[in-house]
Amino acid sequence: MQRYSCIIVEDEPLAAEVLSDYIQQVPFLLLKGICNDAIYAMETLQENNIDLIFLDIHLPKLKGLPFIRSLKNPPQIIITTAYQEYALQGYEYNVVDYLLKPIEFSRFLMAVNKLKPHHTPPQETAAVTSERPYLFFNVSKKKVKIYLDEILYIESLKEYISITTKEKTILTKFPLGQIEELLARNNFLRIHRSFIVAKDKVDAFTATDIEINNKVLPIGRSYKELVMSLLSPPMRDL
């Protein structure tokens, strides 16, 4: 897993706090600093190897877009602002995404999952890939860590999802479609409009359902062809 060192350039303390909290919940982001103006951000960029900037547009001293123009080799940038009218102009600077405040965590995750891979020295890669991928989820005012390789299945319950492992089930407010997008590169498969399963945790399956840890989950009609193709090994001639 590649990690991205990042800074927040934001003059509103509450907005900076929200972004900092979100960053701490994403295992591949590493917060290097919070800058309350673009001048301070320039100094931070000179002193640190930064891969990503979360950038507000309306800043004191130097505004966000002129700040981008001043950078010779800018890192990846995600704009965070309350002003929608700058969106088109922001994308002209090849930003990764344009987030409108107040920013939902699910929308934040969609943005950071658009980050382009960067070159990582071999020795650093070895250290990072040894870590088990995980995510933090909001559960009753707490941040609960869930390791991705422990998830058995995820069920949609309207605006909430339940995430089941062998040890526990948690309930958190999160759209199923967005968690599907977040997990798409890993070991997970959407089998129904209400269910995502870990492929390596499937104990048995038929054309209509899947069994995981003694739990039978339905396969939706529109998902059947894809599920069968991914779970059924190709037959070889004897």
What's the pLDDT at 105?
92
37 and 59 Cβ atoms separated by less than 8 Å? yes
Give residue-wise pLDDT tens across range 138-157: 888 788 899 999 999 999 99
What's the pLDDT at 181?
75
Whole-angstrom Cα distance, residue 138 to residue 171?
A: 8
CATH code for the domain of 155: 2.40.50.1020
Indicate yes or no: pTM above 0.85. no
Query: Where a domain ends, among 95, 111, 127?
Result: 127
Which domain does 201 fall in, by range?
135-231
**What parts of the chain have a pLDDT lower than 50?**
120-130, 235-236, 238
Query: H or E segment at 9?
Result: strand 4-9
Same domain, 143 and 99: no
CATH code for the domain of 67: 3.40.50.2300
Same domain, 108 and 140: no
How, if at all, do strands 76-81 and 204-205 pair? unpaired
Give residue-wise pLDDT tens across range 83-131: 887 676 667 778 999 999 999 999 999 999 999 886 544 333 333 344 6
